[in-house]
Homo-oligomer: A and B are copies of this chain.
Amino acid sequence: MGAALDPFPSVLAFDVFGTVVDWYGSIEREVAAHGLGIDAGAFALAWRAGYEPAMARVRNGELGWTKIDALHRMILDELVERFGVGHRLDETARRALNLAWHRLDPWPDAIEGLRRLRKRFMLCTLSNGNLGLLADMAKRAGLPWDLILSAEVFRHYKPDPEAYLGVCDVFDIAPAQMMLVAAHHDDLAAARACGCRTAHVVRPREFGPTIARDVDPRPGNDLHATDLLDLARQLGC
């Protein structure tokens, strides 16, 4: 399947939250560890749900450039009130909890899948997470990136085209030589619109055990993989 790609991509750019790491399980665990007596899974989902609207405020100019760390904190401050635990989390506790997004665990296949893919391809991130967050996460989890790239470098959040084309500019390659690897259709569609290759990796439990995720192939993507080990096999690694 992968062998039919012409030109064959030289750079694989990975979405991170949900595609490479399990944000739901990691955030649920960290929230539960605070012993606040709230539904930690619901809190994780609500925190993540605040992310798109927060980025939209940057995109529409209501906020100047703002890192995800700061957006996560704005959402957190609102959420602790909504969940009725604002009085139980002081500034120090909120700062510590906000850094939970720096400590997300990889999906079980991720490290070995990336390790195999890295032998043949240049591997980079293309995440809306900020550089410091991604570096902390990679160091803790041992994610073997060749280069950590972020919306922070391009000052544009995905799915703005500047993010995808920014990766191509960094590596001095044509869009067709870059393949985005992601679990999210809006991300994949935006990369395709820029002329990039796309690989859809399904993550049926991205939103936890109870919320069903679409795992069917969709037309338009070059590859459809069940995980990163399957992607490595399809790409001959």
Seen from chain A, the residues whose Cβ lies within 8 Å of a Cβ on chain B are 69, 122, 124, 130-132, 134-136, 138-139, 146-149, 152-153, 170-172
Contact = CB atoms under 8 A, between A and B. Distances in A.
Given A132-B171, A134-B147, 12 more contacts: A122-B136, A122-B139, A124-B135, A130-B170, A131-B147, A131-B149, A131-B170, A132-B170, A138-B146, A139-B146, A147-B148, A152-B170
For the complex formed by this chain, how many copies does it contain in all? 2
Nearest to A135: B147
Contacts of A122: 135-136, 139
5 contacts: A69-B172, A122-B136, A130-B170, A135-B146, A153-B153
Interface of A is mostly: helix
A139 B124 CA distance: 12
A138 to B, nearest CB: 7
Contacts of A69: 172
Contacts of A132: 147, 170-172
A147 B147 CA distance: 7
A81 B62 CA distance: 52
Contacts of A146: 135, 138-139
A144 to B, nearest CB: 10
